[in-house]
Amino acid sequence: MLQHGLKGVIAAETAISYIDGEKGHLVYRGLEAKDIALNYSFEEAAYFIWNGSLPSQTEVELLSEKLKKYRVLPEHMEKMLHLLPTDMEIMSVLRTLISSLGNSHFQWKPTVEEAIQLTAIIPTIIAYWHRRKAGKSPVAPHENYDHVANYLYMLTGETPSNVHVKTLETYMILTLEHGMNASTFSARVTISTESDMISAITSAIGTMKGPLHGGAPSDVTKMLNGIGRKENAESWLREKLENGERLMGFGHRVYKTKDPRALALKEKALEVGQDDPWLALALYVEETAIQLLEEYKPGRKLYTNVEFFAAAVMRSIHLEDDLFTPTFTASRIVGWTAHVLEQAERNVIFRPESQYIGQLPTLS
């Protein structure tokens, strides 16, 4: 039976993550993602996603050293960054530079070492390009900083606060994996042809680039900027709903109750920005929007999703709007690579069929 967009079609088995949209659970390899985000480091979470077990201290240290080694840009990448036009958007830059890694070292079958290399280098590409567009010199990776702290350091050139690091780390752990989403599916389809890890991740980045997948936090920021002040919230939101427009940051294709990632990010946002007027506006808009959504769309179960509080958190730690989707990519690379590795272990090429709806010649 035809299912447009493959909605509801099971295309693979996975042990990486489980989503219960009705009850609001996101599980990474048997553990609640929220618990991992609030209690473990990015390095520990990435190791867990790739290997299926929590690492020992020695294993964490080894992974950390590998991430530090691979975060330094190869010479050809630095040259490419200076040759690309400055009006090229950052996701296209990421897609181009990651593709340039596709040399003889990356072949079938993909490896965890390749996953580590890609995870390490993506934040460096983002930071270098962001600073170049701003007319600033790049900041080289810091050999003593962990993965998330180093990302913030390369973006700003300043020592990041522990609060900002932990806030961003919480976001990145909560978004590093989310089942068979569009970009993960792209990666699995590509690797199913026995292509290489670079090709699979290039496919995933191209998919993440689309606004229906990776751009929602920026739209939330635009919405909050448009509202401006608490007293404008109800009239602004009512006008959008009466015009049949979406409220960005509310509702999810999977979750029919509160998004567990949003709950964890809200908890962290309250911790980092107790006196932040932007956060106060976001919390007020959230409360008002949920009330109005129930009034205008009763029974639809439209709750705050992760993108809403991602926007609040990103703003509170001073990340600019054009870094939202790239930062999402810097976390989701862990999930993509885990799925690539899983697909390769029991590989069957994806080959769905289509239903022809065009004209036919006269057939005898």
What are the φ/ψ torsions at residue 26 (nearest 5 degrees)? -125, 120
Q: Which residue has the tokens 């920026």?
A: 218
Question: Which of these, 11, 38, 71, 43, lies nearest to 339 by C-alpha position?
Answer: 11
Q: Is 307 a catalytic residue?
A: yes
The DSSP result for 75-137, as a single string, is HHHHHHHHHS-TTS-HHHHHHHHHHTT-STTS-SSP-HHHHHHHHHHHHHHHHHHHHHHTT--
The C-alpha angle 335, 337, 314, rounded to 5 degrees, equals 45
Catalytic residue among 44, 114, 286, 307: 307
Q: What share of the chain is helix, strand, coil (3-state, %, to 5)?
A: 60, 5, 35
Residue 231: DSSP 8-state: G
Catalytic residue among 130, 178, 252, 339: 252
Q: Is 318 a catalytic residue?
A: no
Q: Which residues pair with 32 in a beta bridge?
A: 27
Alpha helices, DSSP H, located in 297-323 = 306-316
Rounded Cα gap, residues 43 and 116, in angstroms? 10
Q: Are 213 and 181 in contact (CB under 8 A)?
A: yes
Catalytic positions, written as ranges? 252, 307
